Structure 1
Amino acid sequence: MTAVPDRAQPRPDERLALALAADLDACDFRSDPLRRLWGAEADDALARGLREPILRALALRDDPLPTLGRLFVLGMPQPLAAVERALQRLGVDGLTALGLARIDGAKVVPLAVIRPQSFVDADGVGEWWVASDLDEVALGRALPADHVLGVGGASRTLAEILVPITVDRALDLGTGCGIQALLVSRRAGTVVATDVSERALAYAAFNAQLNGVRNIEFRHGSMFEPVAGEAFDLVVSNPPFVITPRASGVPNYEYRDGGLVGDALVERFVREVPAHLAPGGIAQLLGNWESRAEGASRTIDASAGAASGLNRVATWVADDLDAWVVEREELSPLAYAELWIRDGGMLPRDPGFVTLLTAWLDDFAERGVTAVGFGYILLRRPTATDAAPLRRFEHVAQPVSGVGRALRDGLAAHDLLASGIPSVLHVAADVTEARHHLPGEDDPSVIELRQGGGFARTVPVDPALAAFVGACDGELTVSQIAAALAELFDVPLPELWADLEPRIRTLMLDGILVPAS
C-alpha cells in the first residue's frame, strides 16, 4: 500500500492566499479570540505540547473558529463539511491547491499549521498569520531534517531586539518561515529574504501573500551568496547557530544546524557581513559562541565579568565597525547538549539518547569547550570614519524589555559623545535611586541607580556621581553641576571631572542619562 503523505510544500498563489486571509479574518482567527475560545490555561498548555485541554474546551463544536483552530493551530484532521463552511471564499479545493491540506474521504487533513502571531513595534500593535510545517505534536514523531519552524522563542527574541529604524533596503538572511522579513517590511522600502531551503522560501513567500505584504523579494542560496556585491541599511538574521557534532548518526536540522564545526557559522557571518553594510548600516543576529579552556584566562573586561566566549566574538569583529554584543545566558556543555537533543524530540529514556549525548560531549571536549554562550550581536558601519568605534561586550542576565529602543538610543548616545558630553543632561524617566543604610548609620553604605526598562541595569554609584545624576534636571548645565560638586566635596575640579567624566559617558550609553531635548 502506498503511504499517504502528511507533508507537502506550499504552493504560493496570491489570489488564493488573499481568499484564505479573508476567511481567517471573517471568523476572527486571531490570538486573543482563540485564547478566549479555549481559555488561558489551555492556551498555555499548548505551548508545552499538550492539546487535550483545548480539545476538551472545544468539545463537539463545529462552527468556523473552533474548526479552524483544530485544523490550523493543532494540526488535526477536520470534517470536510465543517471546513467548507469555515472557508467560504477559498473552499477546500483552494486549500489543497495551496498545498496546505489534502482530502482523505470525508476529512480534511492539514499539511501545515497556521498560527496568529501578535507583535508590538514602534509603529504600533499588529498580528501576522504564519504558516509552517506540522510540529511534533501534530506529526506524532520527531521532526524531519528539512522541517520549517514556525515562530519560536529565538524568533521572538530577535524581533524584540531589532533597532526600530526606517531603512531603504533590508536583508533577512536565513528567513525560515519569513517572520523577520514581515516585521522588517513595515519599516523598509525593500526587503530581500534568503534561505538555503527551498521549502522555507515557499513558506515565507506564502506568508507574505497571506498577510498582503508585497515589498519582499525571495532568493535561494547559502549565507551571502544570493546578495553578492549588494549593500543594505539593515541586515537581520536568526541563523542556524546551534552547535552540532559533525559525527555520523547525529541528525542535522536545517532550521538550526549550519553544517559547520562549533560556532564557525556565527564567526563567518560576523566576518562577512561588513561587505554588505552601507554607511550607517546595522546588522543584528542571534548566536551561540564557545568558551574554550585555552582562552579562559583572557577577558575583555574582568570587572564586567566578560567571558572568554565574548572575547572570541570580539576577535571576529572588523576594527572599523561599531560592536555591541550581549550574552544572555551561558550553559555547560552537558546542559547545552541535553537541551538540543530534547529539542529534536528525543528523551533520556529513548534509545540513542546516550549515543547522541556522547557525540556532543566528545565534540566539545575536542575543542576544549568549557561553556556555550547565547545572545545577540549588533554591528554597525559608522558614517564618521574618524570616530572611535563603539565596543561593548557584556553579560546581561536580568529580564529585559524594549531592547531594540535601548540599542538604538545607545548608538545615538555614542555618536553624540564623539563631540563631547552635552551641556545639559536629564535623568531618564524610568530611572530610580535606591540607598541602603546600615542600622544606625546616617550615610548610605550602597547607592544604586535602577533602570526600569531596556536592559534594566542596576548601577552602583558613589555619593559624587549620585549627586551629579540627582542634579540633572535641566536647570543647571553639566559644568555648573561639576563645579558645585567640586566645592561641596572639597576636591579640585579637574580631579573630580577626571573621575566623573568616563562614568557619565557610560550612563549615557546605558540610557540612564539622556541629552536635553
Structure 2
Amino acid sequence: MTSDPTQAPGLAENPAPAGPLELLAGLRADLRAADYTVEGVAALVGDVASAALDREQPLPALRATAGSREPAAVLLRCATLGRAVTRAELDAALPRTRTAGAAALGLVAAAGEGPDDEVRPLVDLRPYSVDDAGGVAQWWLVSDLGELATGEALSADHVLGVGGASLTLASATVRTPVGRVLDVGTGCGIQALHASRHARRVTATDTSERALDLAAVNAALNEVSLDLRHGSLFGPVRDGELFDLVVSNPPFVITPRTSAVPTYEYRDGGMPGDSLVARIVAEVGPVLAPGGVAQLLGNWELHDGQSWSQRVESWLEGTGLDAWVVQREVADPALYAETWIRDGGQKAGPRFDELYAAWLDDFAARGVTGVGFGVVTLRRPQRPGTPLRRFEENLAALDDPLGEVFARGLATHDRLAGLDEAGQDLGDLTVTVAADVTDERFHTPGDPDPRIVLLRQGGGLRRVAQVDGDLAGLVGACDGELTLGQITAGLAVLGEEAVGDVRTRLYPRVRSLLEDGFLLLP
C-alpha cells in the first residue's frame, strides 16, 4: 500500500481518520495557531500537570484547564484527554477546520448542529517534539484513544501513539544521512517520521491496515512523504530492494498463545515466545545494503544455564552481521505478566487473574526464569571478516539520544579493525578525552595518591571505568597533540620501565576506552 498523494485512506469497517489534503492543511494551521505544541501545552498546564500527563494521569491537567476556552486548553481536553467539549468551543479552537471539518476527517463525532451540542473525540491527537542528532522537529500525531482517555481496556486492533518503547528506539537510532530507510511495523508512523529527516526515501510496513491509515494521515498532516506498504515483516520488500537503515519497534511482547488471551496487534506478533524477534534478527541481513544498519527493540527469554547474550547470539548464527546488543531491563515472569496485562487496560479482578495464570503457565511450560529487554543494533559489514559481537548490560536510567553513541562506536570499531588489518598498533594515533568524561578520585585519609580512580561518562550510556594511576595519567595527557606512542614513552621514563612493557600493559585497556567512548579518535 502506498499513500495516495491527494487523500489519506480510510477503512470502511473500522474507519480511521481520512480526508483531503486541503482539510489537513487547514487543521495543521489551526493547531499551529493554537500553540498546540509540547511547549505550549506545558506552559498552559504547568510543570506538575505536565509531569502527571507523562505518567498517564489526567486529573491535574483537567483541573488546570477547567473552564478555559483557550484553543490549546480545548484541544488538550478533547484530543488528548478524551473529554467532550461543545461545538462552539471546538469551532473557536479550530477556526479553519471547525467541528464539521474535524468530523469529516474522522477526528470527532458531534451530537448535533447547535453550539452547545456535545462533541466527543474519536482518536487521540497530540503534539510531539524531538531534538536529537537528526535536528529539531515538531509534529502532531493521530492514534487511537488510550486508557488515559477511555478508562477502558484496549481493543485488539488498537493503534498505539508514542509510548516508552517508541521513544527508546527513536533515541537509539543512528541518524546518519542515508538514502533509503525501512520501518518494519510502523504503527502510527512515528519512527518513519523520525527517519524522514535524514533519509531521501522512507518505506514503512505494517500488518495492520488501520495502522497504515493512521500513518498516512500523520504523514500528510506533517507534510512528510512515506511509501506505505501492507504486509508482515520483510514480506512487502521487493526483490533487490536494499536499505541503508532498517528500524523496527516490532510487536515483541511475549504472550501466551491461547484463546483466553487477547492478541493486541501493536504489541503481539502472534508467534510463540521470543521467536518473532529472533526471526527479524535472522532475516534482516538480505535487505541491508553493504554497511547498512538495522536497529530494533526486543524481548528475549531467560533460561537457567544460558545467559541472555548467548540466547541472542544464537539468533545471529550464519547471518554474518555485526551485532551490538544492550540489555536495558530485566523482569521476572510475574512482573512481566503484570506489566503487560495492565498495559492492555485490564483492572484487578477475576479476568486479571485469569490472564495472569495464563502468562505464568506459558512461562513455566518453557522454563522461562525472566525476560530481558533491550536494543539490538546490527550491520552488514562492508568487507568480509570476523563480525563484531558486543553484548553489554546497562540498567541505568538514560535520557540522552544514544544514536550518536552507536554511530561513533561502530566507526571506532572499523578504525581499530583497520589498524589490525594493516598490522599497526595504537602508537601512531592521537586521541582526545570525550567532553562528557570526568574522573573521580578516592583517597585513603592521609595518603596523597588516590586509591581508586574512576572515569565517568556524563552522557550516552553513562559508563564507569576504574583505572590505575598509569592509565589515568595516559588519559590525562590525551589532548590530541601527542601520539599514544609518545605518551607511553613518557610514562615509561617516569616509571623507569621498558617502553614495550608499558605499551603491552596499557594498549589493550586504551583500546577498551576507545571502544567505550571515553577516548575519541580524530
TM-score normalised to the size of structure 2?
Answer: 0.92
Return the alpha-carbon distance in structure 1 between the equivalents of residues 78 and 487 of structure 2.
65
> Whole-Å Cα distance in 2 between the matches of residues 184 and 444 of structure 1?
47
Is 1:240 paired with 2:247? Answer: no
Q: 2:5 is matched with which residue? A: none
Partner SS for 1:88: coil
Q: What residue is the counterpart of 1:392 in the other structure?
A: 390
Query: Which residues of 2 match residues 423-434 of structure 1 at below 5 A?
Result: 423-434=429-440
Does structure 1 residue 226 correspond to structure 2 residue 224?
no
SS at match of 1:354: helix
Q: How many angstroms apart in 2 are the aligned matches of 1:59 and 1:331?
A: 40
The alignment status of 1:415 with 2:414, answered yes or no, reads: yes
Deviation of residue 281 (structure 1)?
0.3
Tell me which residue corresponds to 1:301: none
1:131 maps to what in 2? 142
- What one-letter code is carried by the residue in structure 1 that aligns with 2:475? V
- Tell me how far apart the structure 1 counterparts of residues 446 and 266 of structure 2 sit (CA, whole Å): 60
In structure 1, the partner of 2:503 is 497
Q: In structure 1, how many angstroms separate the alpha carbons of the residues matched to 2:330 and 2:61?
A: 35
Query: What SS does the corresponding residue of 1:466 show, helix, strand or coil?
Result: helix
C-alpha contact 1:325 1:393 (8 A) present in aligned 2: yes
| Alignment partner, residue 342 of structure 1 | 342
Q: Whole-Å Cα distance in 2 between the matches of residues 28 and 43 of structure 1?
A: 16
- The match for 2:82 among 75, 78, 83 is 75
Q: Confirm or deny: 8 A CA contact 1:8 1:100 kept in the other structure.
A: no
Which residue does the alignment assign to 1:330? 330
Q: Quote the residue 1:303 is aligned against.
A: none
Given candidates 53, 60, 63, the residue that maps to 1:56 is 63
Q: Is the 8 A contact 1:13 1:209 kept in 2?
A: no
**Which stretch has the larger CA shift, 490-499 or 263-272?**
490-499
Q: Look up the SS of the partner of 1:374 in the other structure.
A: strand
Are 2:223 and 1:212 equivalent residues in the alignment?
yes
Displacement after TM superposition at 1:463 (Å):
1.9
Shift of 1:319: 5.2
Deviation at 1:12, TM superposition (A): 4.5
Letter in structure 2 aligned against 1:168: G
Contact 2:171/2:402 (<8 A) preserved: yes
Query: Residue 145 of structure 1 aligns to a residue in which SS?
Result: coil
Please state whether the residue corresponding to 2:323 is helix, strand or coil. Answer: strand
Q: Secondary structure at the match of 1:455?
A: coil
For 1:321, the equivalent position in structure 2 comes to 321
Deviations 1:306-329 (A, max 9, x none): xx1121111212452211100011
Q: Could you tell me whether the CA contact under 8 Å between 2:204 and 2:228 is conserved in 1?
A: yes
Larger CA deviation: 375-384 vs 76-85: 76-85
Return the alpha-carbon distance in structure 1 between the equivalents of residues 73 and 443 of structure 2: 58
Match for residue 131 of structure 2?
Answer: 120
Aligned to 2:375: 376
Aligned to 2:38: 31
- 2:469 is aligned with 1:469: no
After superposing the two structures, state which structure 1 stretch, 159-168 or 41-50, moved more: 41-50
Query: d(CA) in 1 for partners of 2:492 and 2:38?
Result: 57
Matched, 1:174 2:185: yes
1:448 counterpart residue number = 454
Q: Which amino acid aligns with 1:374?
A: F
Please report how far the alpha carbon of residue 6 of structure 1 lies from its aligned counterpart in structure 2 after TM superposition. 13
Q: Deviations over 1:192-228 (max 9, x none)?
A: 01000001111100001111112x1100011110014
Partner of 1:298: none
Would you say the 8 A contact 1:6–1:111 is kept in 2?
no
CA RMSD across the alignment: 1.8
Question: Are the equivalent residues in 2 in contact too, given 1:12–1:205 (CA < 8 A)?
Answer: no
The aligned amino acid for 2:180 is R
**Distance in 1 between the 2:303 and 2:373 partners?**
15
Indicate how the Cα distance of structure 1 residues 6 and 131 shifts in structure 2: closer, same or farther if over 3 A, else same.
farther
Conservation of the 8 A alpha-carbon contact between 1:143 and 1:344: yes
The alignment partner of 1:506 has SS state of helix
Cα distance in 1, alignment partners of residues 299 and 517 from structure 2: 27
- Of the candidates 504, 507, 519, which is equivalent to residue 513 of structure 1? 519
Alignment of 1:279-290 (within 5 A): 279-290=290-301
- Structure 2 distance, partners of 1:455, 1:136, is 32
Structure 2 SS opposite 1:352: helix
Partner amino acid, structure 2, of 1:83? L
Whichever residue aligns with residue 241 of structure 1, its letter is F
CA 239–467 in structure 1, closer or farther in 2 if over 3 Å, else same: same
| CA deviations over 1:19-62 (Å, ceiling 9, x no partner) | 11011111111111112212221222233333332222222222
Shift of 1:123: 4.1
- 3-state DSSP class of the match of 2:145? coil
Is 2:122 the counterpart of 1:111?
A: yes
Q: Partners in 1 of 2:462 and 2:484 — Cα distance? A: 25
Residues 35 and 43 in structure 1, CA contact (< 8 A), matched pair in contact too: yes
Is the CA contact 1:13–1:206 (under 8 Å) kept in the aligned structure 2?
A: no
Structure 2: distance between partners of 1:6 and 1:101: 17
Preserved contact between residue 8 and residue 111 of structure 1 (Cα < 8 Å): no
Q: Which residue type is aligned with residue 331 of structure 2?
A: L
SS at match of 1:41: helix
Partner of 1:200: 211
2:54 alignment partner in structure 1: 47
Which residue is equivalent to 2:485?
Answer: 479
The structural deviation recorded for 1:492 is 3.1
Q: What is the aligned partner in structure 2 of residue 299 from structure 1? A: none
* Alignment check: 8 A CA contact 2:302 2:368 kept: yes
Asked if the contact 1:12–1:202 (Cα under 8 Å) also holds between the matched residues in 2, the reply is no
Write out the 4+ residue segments of structure 1 that deviate beyond 4 Å after TM superposition: none
Residue 371 of structure 2 aligns to which amino acid in structure 1?
V
The structure-2 alpha-carbon separation of the partners of 1:475 and 1:54, relative to structure 1 and needing over 3 Å to count, comes to: closer
User: How much has 1:184 moved relative to structure 2?
Assistant: 0.4
Deviations 1:165-197 (A, max 9, x none): 001000011000101100100000000010000
CA deviation after TM superposition for structure 1 residue 365, in Å: 1.2
> Which residue number corresponds to residue 9 of structure 2?
none
| 8 Å contact kept, 2:91–2:98 | yes
Aligned match of 1:20:
27
Does the alignment pair 1:102 with 2:109?
yes
The 8 Å contact of residues 7 and 111 in structure 1, kept in 2 or not, is answered as: no
> How far apart are the structure 2 equivalents of 1:38 and 1:513?
43
Question: Which stretch of structure 1 is more off in the superposition, 86-95 or 144-153?
Answer: 86-95
- What are the Cα deviations for residues 125-179 of structure 1, in whole angstroms up to 9, with x where unaligned? 2211001001113223100010011101111111111112001000011000101
Higher mean displacement: 231-240 or 107-116: 107-116
**1:290/1:309 contact within 8 Å kept:** yes
- Deviating more after overlay: 176-185 vs 47-56: 47-56
Aligned to 1:406: 405
Q: Give the deviation of 1:248 after TM superposition.
A: 2.4
- 1:278-317 equivalences under 5 Å are 278-295=289-306, 308-317=307-316
- Gap regions ≥5 residues in structure 1: 296-307
Does the residue aligned with 1:361 lie in a helix, a strand or coil?
A: helix
Matched letter for residue 89 of structure 1? R
Identity %: 52
Contact 2:282–2:319 under 8 Å retained in 1:
no
Range with greater deviation from structure 2 (40-49 or 177-186): 40-49
Measure the CA separation in 1 of the matches of 2:293 and 2:393. 21
Segment drifting more, 154-163 vs 318-327? 318-327
CA gap of 1:7–1:53, structure 2 versus 1, over 3 A, is farther
- Residue of structure 2 equivalent to 1:356: 355
Task: Give the AA of the match of 1:465.
Answer: L
